[in-house]
Every structure is written in structure tokens, then in C-alpha cells.
Amino acid sequence: MVFMAASNEEIKPNEAKKVVPLHTWMLISHLKVSYNLLRRPDGTLRRELAEFLDRKAVANIVPVDGVYSFDVVNRTTGLFNRVYKPAPLDNNGSLHRLATGILDFESPLSSSEIVPVIIFFHGGSFTHSSANSTIYDTFCRRLTRDVQGVVVSVNYRRSPEHRYPCAYEDGWEALQWVCSRSWLVSGKGRKVYVYLAGDSSGGNIAHNVAHQAAVLGVEVLGNVLLHPLFGGERRTESERRLDGKYFVKLEDRDWYWRAFLPEGENRDHPACNVFGPRGCDLAGIKFSKTLVVIAGLDLVQDWQWEYVEGLKRFGHDVKVLFLEKASIGFYFFPNNEHFCKLMEELKRFLKG
Amino acid sequence: MKRGRERKKETQTTSSSPPAKPKDLTQTLPDSGGMDELLEVLGYKVKSTDMADVAQKLEQLEMVMGEDGVSQLADTVHYNPSDLSGWYQSMLSEINNTGSDGVSSSVDFDITLPGDASTTMIDFSNNNVTNGQQTSNMYDDDPYDLRAIAGGAIYGISSTDESLEDRNGIKRMKSAGSDEIIDVPPESPRPVVLVDSQEAGIRLVHTLMACAEAVQQNNMKLADALVKHVGILVASQAGAMAKVARYFASALAQRIYKIYPRESLEDLHMHFYESCPYLKFAHFTANQAILEAFAGATRVHVIDFSLNQGMQWPALMQALALRNGGPPAFRLTGIGPPQPDNTDALQQVGWKLAQLADTIGVEFEFRGFVANSLADIDAGMLDIRPTDEEVVAVNSVFELHRLLSRPGAVDKVLNSMKDMKPKIVTIVEQESSHNDTVFLNRFNEALHYYSTMFDSLESSALTQSNTLDLEMSEVYLGRQICNVVACEGTDRVERHETLTQWRTRMNSAGFSPVHLGSNAFKQASMLLALFAGGDGYRVEENDGCLMLGWHTRPLIATSAWQPGSVVET
């Protein structure tokens, strides 16, 4: 097949394919190519084409692999949360045969055990994907099954149509909703044992909601940030070293920040550069313990390390899971060691 | 009669099971029909044997897709994004053939969005066609509660045991005897969308469910008591859920007392058309496919399996009239049921369309066929002209499922369809499984489906002043509910099946899919945004077909077909 370079870029040999597992490589490359088609230079997005290309999954109250799901829509906002629950087991550990099969909104999750409820914010650089995107529906199902807790995936508003602080507001709304569901309560404490989690921009949202919760005294038991999206004006070493190497170009990152942050703002805005020159003060508040998962092939990692250092400086409990050879999106497939390490660490984090 | 046996499940569902051990990175999981399972679960279809090949195409695409490539590719029409190989190939071909005509490379379809730089507006009323194109350029507080219902026992049943494969290759379970509870898993996923879940209405749904289960078990005494209880509960409720509950309760009562409803007289189609976007979407998307199929033809023939008021055709005729090079001669064959008062409803519709055709300058011919069933029609009656003279489209909106009430009918009709030598067949059907052999499964599916439908109607109500259309639409849907729940045998005609099931049937009958593209998707989305009233409607692409749903629940699906087997590429 004859092809020509259509631009002045040198053709780099595809290093990524040598290091990244094949399935992950294919999916993330596919998304990269798709997203390239969607971004316009003027900062707008081809939203209909984006929705056409995005694969979606329906919820399903028939358990599949031990997990069932259903969507709850907020009539006022038109936004929905997708709730995933493990299918109940009977005393023998087999799948429980529901006599009437009604979704129960009256009983707590458990009156004796603590059942974690994880509010999950999907990634997509604030712009792409939805809670019902198949890649995220599948991930949330696996998460639900592996931690045996409830996962609530939030369909927050996206940029460029809805900039900062919309996603954060929707995240806050979701936290309040979850905390007020009697059917998400568990344990002898009879409360909702809530965690916040997210990948990429979802991790950024999780931090922000956790911050708000800490300030307002709402108890969040832990945050799990999967290669969260942070940034800043200056260029870090990892950004320079990894620019364009593993699916992501710095200029694309810049595009997404321009699309999310208020017009005229730069990347030192505290939503982006959390502990930077205009950064947050987390002193004296009860901030939830945090697990930050850093992928060694992610160009954003220096900002994630700075985030970790920032939390430590303010005396907050933070742990890092550094997966040196992992690329972004390593968790979309379960057939690799990064995924396994992630789930093991997650389970430890939720139990601790 | 045997019960479905409990399948011995692996321990993967217990909390103590270990995580999957790391596998060899190059190993793919056992496949289903040759597809890589890990990608399939994410919505992408790649044959396991093709993985390396597809990866290579992707690499090539990345390399040749410079900035110019991006804007060119972004504005072309895309098809079936699940088929990665096909999609990459079409883009590679597109880039390698820069400068080919017949491609809408310079038209930006995007509607003005906040911050959107492009300002091209598309004139919807005329379905404008731009120059140089052959193809058409035509894109907690609530008082009620929607309770979700999980089906009756659905675990641990091996679907390969004691299943009957009917002629259409769809597995079915034998239905239980009178005392047994059915342990049969529903065939399709049951997507439940709750709106502002509230406590109120729980008991209502619970009671409906219990009543249906009593009916399933043939315990009519209990069923009777429960249906009366529903009546009492419903009296104190308002909103969509209460309305749905009333229809289901009424249908259950009819089933219990064996008072079967007679075929309704008044045609409520128009009201349903006006009050919500489902029919408009059906017509619009089907017309898109038909227009593309009619490209370049000088004589065309549309065979409409259920003419009703002919509402689909003015838009198509107008699009044809505005076509580059002028309209083709347009022949319409409309099929419909006999009228109780013996009026020739079909001819009246034909006459109105003829008048329209006259004003817009389209040569028009109409023929009506009255038939009790589509199976009574065969191609020989329809005056099919040679394919090099006239291009044929067969169109069926919410009609094919009725054939499933008589054995052999649907097969006969699909065969006749082939004899009509269509270039394209457009089918729109309700996206739900209301034809399961097990009554309880049908009931549960229908309860979810119509709850969502009624909910969407209620949302539409907020933006409409005409309540008559809305009320009549509820009656229209109520009739369907009654048919699904209370009727059996040849009377039960609302035998909706899912797109997956129709696909299997069409493939078996010797049809291959014609994919609907991103242009149809985009324009359908834009139309919804402008005209839908209530912004919970969503368009979704599914393996070349388009679905319209309410929030995350698809409710109707449009698919297009052509005779001939699927070609392996």
C-alpha cells in the first residue's frame, strides 16, 4: 500500500506498539484517530459525529457475570447516573433466585456489612465519552464485580459546550444524591460509605468534589484517581519526553484545557494546576485518603506527582500506585498485569 | 414438561474469587463467531484472525492522516463504526482518492452550536440538495415513580437445555405447566431507566408484577385479587406511571376474565405522529436510506407495507423533486387493511399525494392494495417492472411484527419481498422483546418499554398545547399494551422483537444489511433537537442501524437491507 505523509511531521516508528499490549494499543489508537476527527482548530467539537462514533451500552437489570445495572435520570437536568450492583447471592454463594425480581429501594445494601459505594467519573478529557459508553460500562461492571460494591457512574456535562465548573457541579450533585439514597446505606453505621473515583478528567473531577466535600464536612472515605488529568502552563520533563509517543500529543492536551477552562484562562487555573501558583489551600480540612494511580507512559505524570506532593505537603494521606510500563487506558482490558495490580490495590484501599 | 435446570456456575461471581491471572499478551479469548471477544465486549467487531491486519491499517491511517486528512475525513459520511477494518479502509481509500467526486467533502453539515464557527443551516422543510451530489444531503420531586422490574427468576439456566430452535434460529424455552414457576432468562437485556426514583409507586408496580406472576402460574383467584388491588392503588396516583399501570391492569383484567378486546376502529396513527418524534424519526431515517438507494434512477417504485395516512411520502417526494437533474417518475404502492365502513381509504391517501406531486412537479402513479395480511400479497400482483427500468424500495414501519402471529407468514412475506427485486428494504420496528413464549417475560419487557414510552410522552407534553394528540397517543399505546398482555394466538399481533432478532431473521432470509451513515444520524439528531419537545430523546448508531430512544433506552430501530447474502471481506 502506497501512502504519503500529509504533513511536515516526521514519521516516527510506532514505539507504542512494541510496549503496549495489543488490545490496549488498538483501542487507544482507535480512540486517538476518532478524536482527531472531532476536534476543530477553533476549539469546537463535532458533537454529532462524536455521538455517532461512540459505542454505547444499555443498562441491564438482568445480571450478567454477576452484575446488573439501571439508569436513574434527573428530570430537571436531563442527566443520569448509572448504578451497578452485584447480583445478590444466597447463603450457599450461588446466584440468588429473586422471587419477584423487583429493584429494591427500601432495604439498605446490608445491615451488618459495610458495602462501599464508589461514585465514578468517566474520563475523556472533559469532552468525550458518557456514562453509557461501552468502554466505561464494561469497566464499571468489572469494577463492581471485583470490589463487590456499588458503582454509580455519573453522566456529567462535557466541554466545550459546558465548561468549568459544570462538570464539578454535576459531580457535587451526584455526591449529594448518592448520600441521600436510603438504599445505598450499609453497615451498622447506617450510612452511605462513599468513595470517589475517576480516570483522566474523571480523576480531576473526583479531586474537586472531594475538596468541596472536605470543606463542607461531607464524609468521603477515599478517592481513587486513575491517571488524573492535571496540568499547568510550564512544560514538565515528562511532557517533553513523551509528547506524541504514547497516543497523546501535548497540543491535544492543550486543546482540551482550552475547551474546559473558562475562556481567556490559562493552564495555571486551579482546576488544572491544583497546587500551582494559583493553587488550592487544603490546610486544616479533613480531606479523604487518596490513591493515585500513575501510568509510566503517560505524559501527564509529572503533574500527577506534583499533585501527590501537594497533598502530602498539606498533611493528607496519599498513596501512589506507579505502573511503570502502563499506558493511558490500561484498565480498559483485563488481560494484562496492570489491570490486575490495579484491582488488587483498589481492594486493599477500600478495605483499609 | 421439564423445568430449566440450574446451570453449575463458575465461582466468578463470588467475592472471594481471585482476579483473572495475567495472560499472554498476544492471546485472545475464545471467540464468538470469530470475533475478538475483548473488543466485542467494548462494541467493536474485529475478527481474531484479522487483529494484526486491522492494527496495520490503523497505523497506516495514523500516518497519512495529516491536518488536511482530518478535515476531509471529518466531513465525509461514515458508516458502521463498529466494523473497525471496514471503517479504517474507507478512510484510507478516501485519503488516497483525494479529488474524487460524489463525495460531500466540502459541505459542513453542522448546525450552529454555541461557540460553533460554522454557520451553515440546512433547510429542513425542503430537504435541499447541494450541487454535485448524487446522494441526498438530507440530518424530585415528581408525583410519580417509575419502578424498575427485574424479571421473574432469571438465574442459572442453561439456554442450551431443552430449547427449541424455531425456523428463525431463535431459541425458545418450552412454557411451564400450570403450577410451575418459570425459570427462563429473557433473551435480551432489560434496560431500565428510572426518572427521579421516588418511593411512591413501588407497591403499584410490585402488585402488577405479582399479578402477572399469578397469571403465569394460572392462579386466577390470586390474580383477580391483585388486579383489583392495583385498581385501588392507581386511583391515588398521577403521572405517567399511573397511566401505564392503568393500561396494564386493564389488560391483565381482560386476560383474567377472558374478555378479549376487539380490533379497534379509530385510527390513532396521526395523533401519535403529532405528539412525539418516533414516527417522524422512522420516516426520516427510512427516507434517507431510500433516497440514497434511488440515486441516479429515472423511475422509482416504493411499496409501502402499511400506508396509513401516507405521512412518510410528502418529504420523500419533495426531496426527489429537488434532486439534481430533476425528479424520477415516482410510483407508490400502498397496502392497507380493509376498512369497516368499506371506504377506500387507500385511494383517498393516493389522491392527496397525487395532488402534492402535481404541485411539486413529480410524475406520480398510485396503486392501493387492501389486504387482511401482508402474506396475502405476492409480488406478481404488484406489477414489478424490470430492474433496469425502475428501482424498487420496500418500506415497512411497525408492520412486519404482526406477521409473527401466524406460522410461516413472515417467511412467506420475506420471500415475496425478494421477488419484488428491491434495491432497498427499510424496516422500522419497536426495539423490545414482546414476543417471548413465556407470558411473564413478555409482561415485564412490556412494562419497562411502555413505562419509558409514556414517560417520554409526558416530557413532550410540557412543550405542547395540544393535549388531544397526547391523550390519543396514550390510547394508541394502550391498545398495544392490551394486545401484548391480554391476547394470544392470531389475535396477538403486537409481537415486537428486537433489532438483534430481526437481523437474524433477515440474514436467514437472504438479505444483507445496508448501513445508515453519519449524515442520517446527524440530521436525525438535529431534527430531534429542533422538533422533539423534551430533550431526553437520543439517536444511537448500532452496527449500521439507527435507533431512537428516551435517555439511555432505545425504543425504535431503523434498519435497511438488500437481497443477497452477507459477503465476507
CB atoms near residue A189 (< 10 Å): 9
Q: Do B552 and A59 touch (CB under 8 A)?
A: yes
A-interface mutation test, from B10, B12, B41, B98, most A Cβ less than 10 A away: B41
Q: How far is B187 from chain A (nearest CA, A)?
A: 10
**Residue A351 touches partner B, C-beta closer than 8 Å:** no
Most confident of B443-447, B458-462, B544-548: B544-548
Taking only the tens place, the pLDDT of each residue in B455-487 is: 899 888 777 777 899 999 999 999 999 999 999
CA dihedral B231, B232, B235, B239 (to 10 degrees): -70
For residue B104, the model assigns a pLDDT of: 40
**Residue A98 touches partner B, C-beta closer than 8 Å:** yes
**Residue B23 touches partner A, C-beta closer than 8 Å:** yes
Give buried/exposed letters for B46-71 (b at 16+ CB in 10 A, else e): bbbebbeebbebbbbbbbbbbeebbe
**Residue B526 touches partner A, C-beta closer than 8 Å:** yes
Q: Please check whether residue B278 is in contact with residue B118, taking contact to mean a CB–CB distance below 8 angstroms.
A: no
Taking only the tens place, the pLDDT of each residue in A175-219 is: 999 999 999 999 998 999 999 999 999 999 999 999 999 999 999
For residue B263, the model assigns a pLDDT of: 66
- pLDDT tops 50 at residue A272: yes
Which of the 8 DSSP states describes residue B157?
B
Active site residue A298: yes
Nearest residue to B452 (alpha-carbon basis) of B186, B34, B239, B146:
B146
Q: Please check whether residue B26 is in contact with residue B202, taking contact to mean a CB–CB distance below 8 angstroms.
A: no
List, as ranges, residues 269-288 from A with C-beta within 8 Å of B: none
Q: Do A335 and B38 touch (CB under 8 A)?
A: yes
Q: Do A48 and B522 touch (CB under 8 A)?
A: yes
B-interface mutation test, from A7, A39, A58, A65, most B Cβ less than 10 A away: A58
For the segment A285-300, the average pLDDT, to the nearest whole number, is 97
What cell was used for A8?
Answer: 511536515
C-alpha to C-alpha distance for B122 and B360, rounded to whole angstroms: 20
**Residue B544 touches partner A, C-beta closer than 8 Å:** no
Q: Name the band, by pLDDT with cuts 50, 70 and 90, for residue B301.
A: very high
**Residue B191 touches partner A, C-beta closer than 8 Å:** yes
Q: Do A335 and B27 touch (CB under 8 A)?
A: yes
Which of the 8 DSSP states describes residue B3?
P
- pLDDT tops 60 at residue B3: no
Which of the 8 DSSP states describes residue A9?
S
Q: Please check whether residue A147 is in contact with residue A347, taking contact to mean a CB–CB distance below 8 angstroms.
A: yes
Q: Which of A93-107, A338-352, B82-96 has the lowest mean pLDDT?
A: A93-107
Rounded to the nearest 5°, which phi and psi values hold at B246? Answer: -60, -45
**Residue B61 touches partner A, C-beta closer than 8 Å:** yes
C-alpha to C-alpha distance for B568 and B33, rounded to whole angstroms: 13
For residue A221, the model assigns a pLDDT of: 97
C-alpha to C-alpha distance for A84 and A114, rounded to whole angstroms: 16
Beta strand A67-73 pairing with A80-86: antiparallel
B422 Cβ contact partners less than 8 Å away, ≥ 6 residues apart: B303, B392, B393, B394, B562, B563
For the segment A95-101, the average pLDDT, to the nearest whole number, is 42
Nearest residue to B122 (alpha-carbon basis) of B137, B104, B132:
B137
For residue B235, the model assigns a pLDDT of: 87
Q: Do A48 and B186 touch (CB under 8 A)?
A: no
Q: Which of A241-255, A292-306, B86-100, B181-195 has the lowest mean pLDDT?
A: B181-195
**Residue B132 touches partner A, C-beta closer than 8 Å:** no
For residue A239, the model assigns a pLDDT of: 97
E-strand spans in B329-487?
329-336, 364-370, 391-397, 424-430
Q: How far is B51 from chain A (nearest CA, A)?
A: 9
Of A42, A53, A62, the CB nearest to B190: A62
For residue B458, the model assigns a pLDDT of: 86
B-interface mutation test, from A14, A37, A110, most B Cβ less than 10 A away: A37
Q: Which residue on chain B is closest to A76 by alpha carbon?
A: B140
List, as ranges, residues 220-239 from B with C-beta within 8 Å of A: none
- pLDDT tops 50 at residue B116: no
Beta bridge partners of A341: none
Q: Do B191 and A47 touch (CB under 8 A)?
A: no
Which of the 8 DSSP states describes residue A288?
P
Say which residue, B151 or A326, is predicted with more confidence: A326
**Residue A337 touches partner B, C-beta closer than 8 Å:** yes
For residue B389, the model assigns a pLDDT of: 94
| C-alpha triplet B553, B558, B561: angle, nearest 5° | 145
Q: How far is A314 from chain B (nearest CA, A)?
A: 35
DSSP B285-315: HHHHHHHHHTTT-SEEEEEES--TT-TTHHH
Q: Name the band, by pLDDT with cuts 50, 70 and 90, for residue B8.
A: very low
Rounded to the nearest 5°, which phi and psi values hold at A163? Answer: -85, 180
Taking only the tens place, the pLDDT of each residue in B250-281 is: 999 999 999 876 767 678 889 999 888 999 99
Q: Which of A69, A133, A159, A200 is catalytic?
A: A200
Q: Do B44 and A58 touch (CB under 8 A)?
A: no
- A59 contacts on B by Cβ (under 8 Å): 189, 191-193, 552-553
For residue B202, the model assigns a pLDDT of: 64
Q: Do A87 and B140 touch (CB under 8 A)?
A: no
Say which residue, B220 or B196, is predicted with more confidence: B220
- pLDDT tops 90 at residue A134: yes
- A40 contacts on B by Cβ (under 8 Å): 117
- pLDDT tops 70 at residue B114: no
C-alpha to C-alpha distance for B31 and B417, rounded to whole angstroms: 34
Say which residue, A343 or B467, is predicted with more confidence: A343
Residue type, A131: A
Q: Which of A322-326, B240-244, B326-330 has the lowest mean pLDDT?
A: B240-244
Q: Name the band, by pLDDT with cuts 50, 70 and 90, for residue A282.
A: very high
Q: What is the pTM of this model?
A: 0.86
- pLDDT tops 60 at residue B177: no
CB atoms near residue B341 (< 10 Å): 7
Active site residue A200: yes
What cell was used for A19?
Answer: 510496549
Mean of the per-residue pLDDT values for chain B? 79
For the segment A143-168, the average pLDDT, to the nearest whole number, is 97
- A138 contacts on B by Cβ (under 8 Å): 41-42
**Residue B54 touches partner A, C-beta closer than 8 Å:** yes
For residue B203, the model assigns a pLDDT of: 72
Q: How far is B534 from chain A (nearest CA, A)?
A: 9
For residue B111, the model assigns a pLDDT of: 32
- B22 contacts on A by Cβ (under 8 Å): 335-337, 340
Q: How far is B102 from chain A (nearest CA, A)?
A: 20
Q: What is the 3-state secondary structure (H, E, C) of B68-105?
A: HHHHHHHHCCCECCCEHHHHHHHHHHHHHCCCCCCCCC
